[in-house]
Homo-oligomer: A and B are copies of this chain.
């Protein structure tokens, strides 16, 4: 057929495969540390906003609060985060990194940086920067839905 673009030129297809490749690289980079990209996301949120409620962390990460329960269960079992009661509001947990968690997040970020460099290897610095800036702009100013 004429005038029909190849599937490989569709933005949805390109984003899906770029994301899948990044996920695979992160998995390989983080597995030796006993963690993965989703857990690293939680650790980064906690490192930036600590201590905070589970709900705060879920909102910042963009996941449901029921998803956060399971993520924190896993991280707590590894001893890298701790829950403690919120003094003023007893419905809430305060969540924070342990010393082991602080150590892990440092090492995990370095490993994930390597994975990002591997993904971006085909691009020069200008193209890498443009890609990152464009994606950040979409995340910030994107359509409401």
Contact = CB atoms under 8 A, between A and B. Distances in A.
Contacts of A15: 15, 18-19, 22, 135
A22 B26 contact: no
Interface string A21-44: 111111010000000010011001
Contact of A136 (B4, B8, B25, B130): B8
Interface centre among A8, A23, A26, A61 (most CB of B within 10 A): A8
Contact of A138 (B6, B13, B28, B122): B122
Copies in the complex: 2
A58 to B, nearest CB: 12
A61 B18 CA distance: 14
Nearest to A137: B122
B136 A121 contact: no
Interface in A78-119: 97, 102, 105-106, 109, 112, 116, 118-119
A26 B14 CA distance: 14
A7 B131 contact: no
22 contacts: A1-B48, A1-B102, A4-B44, A4-B47, A5-B109, A7-B44, A11-B116, A11-B132, A12-B26, A14-B132, A15-B15, A15-B135, A16-B19, A21-B143, A24-B145, A119-B138, A122-B141, A127-B134, A127-B137, A131-B134, A131-B135, A134-B134
